[in-house]
Amino acid sequence: MEKTPSYDGLGLVNLVAEIERRLTGSSLFTPLSDPSAVPDGHTIVLVLFDGLGVAQLEHPSAHPFRDSMAGTLQAGFPSTTSVSLATIATGLPPSQHGQVAHLSWYPDLQEVVNTLKWVTINGEHVPYDYASLLPAPNLWERLRDSGVEPVTVQPGDFSGSPLTRALYRGARFEGVWDPFELADATVSLAAEPRRLVFTYVPFVDVAGHVTGQGSEEFDVAMRTAATIWERLLSALPPGVALLGTADHGLIDVADGSKLLVREPKYRSVRFAGDTRGVHLWGDADLIASLTRQTGGTLIDPIPMIGPGPTAESLSHLGDRLLLAPPGKAIIPKGFDKRLHCYHGGLTPEEIDIPLLVG
């Protein structure tokens, strides 16, 4: 059953606003409605475990996360990595930071752009002024202006990528090359006061997409992520507040539940978004036909992305949004049909994310 994400106190954006308020005394957006679970600290560590939704905490190897869970938050819409990371980088909902899809329509480019890789759906590199993509000042710049140093710990091969340049303007980037270096570098960097250390852990999401949640590889990824969390719990110095969360959950989709859209009659329809929530532009009768064919639900995307949508955010939204049926993925040409797990929709399995407290 679909649900409208929270932006008024129970969302990922509200957690970021709460962190900003704790470190600077004020925030650009509404903080958590109940902040009692969030500890104070002269430095705050926020760890984002990509793909670790509340549903993934049922995995047998996820017990360290279950033991640390202090509540349930909600990712914004769409529930996808580039959108949630933009929320963290700005402290704003998608309606105000402008990133509203994994595959996003850019009117100025007249292209649908993969916002993780900054390539077209045909794989062609998209030149752009990445550093100016998000509103200014972003979270990192506001922290610096308040005397707080923002540092992000990331896999080293992300250094200098278009997404990194878009997201981390104003933050110090620390690249690491081994899973457990993520924890060690985070501990070392958190020793200094007046810092926000944001650490990104990709392993659960990657394994889910590539091999599925029932695979041995997924178990290894979950155990790796849990070990990183346990290292942080045991090694961070006194006075440091440790928080963890995710950008979205994961849904397994069998090959027989992948609804490929290949009919010639739909060539005039523009497709963007995510397989679980597809943005559509085109003839109303064709869109109605596609809705019947897929068994999906057609909705207005504007209320889903948060309050006060800007012109920039609205420019990327489809005329309508087609939500995939439960357990299925709608895959137009140019969308990835090879994956085992998908996300981007409005089900609890996709938008419910944990609040972890160390």
Task: Please name the amino acid found at residue 335.
Answer: F
Q: What is the pLDDT of residue 183?
A: 97
Q: Return the H-helix or E-strand segment holding 67.
A: helix 63-68
DSSP annotation of 10 reads S
DSSP annotation of 147 reads T
pTM of the model: 0.97
Q: All domains of the chain, ordered by start, with CATH?
A: 12-99+127-250+346-357 (3.40.720.10), 255-342 (3.30.1360)
197: its two tokens: 């250390």
Q: What is the pLDDT of residue 1?
A: 73
Tell me the pLDDT of the chain (358 aa) as tens digits.
Answer: 788 999 999 999 999 999 999 999 999 999 999 999 999 999 999 999 999 999 999 999 999 999 999 999 999 999 999 999 999 999 999 999 999 999 999 999 999 999 999 999 999 999 999 999 999 999 999 999 999 999 999 999 999 999 999 999 999 999 999 998 999 999 999 999 999 999 999 999 999 999 999 999 999 999 999 999 999 999 999 999 999 999 999 999 999 999 999 999 999 999 999 999 999 999 999 999 999 999 999 999 999 999 999 999 999 999 999 999 999 999 999 999 999 999 999 999 999 999 999 9
119 by DSSP, 3-state: which?
strand
- E strand segments, the chain: 43-49, 69-74, 103-106, 111-114, 119-120, 149-155, 172-176, 195-201, 240-245, 251-252, 258-261, 270-274, 277-281, 297-299, 320-323, 329-332, 341-342, 352-357
6: its two tokens: 């929270």
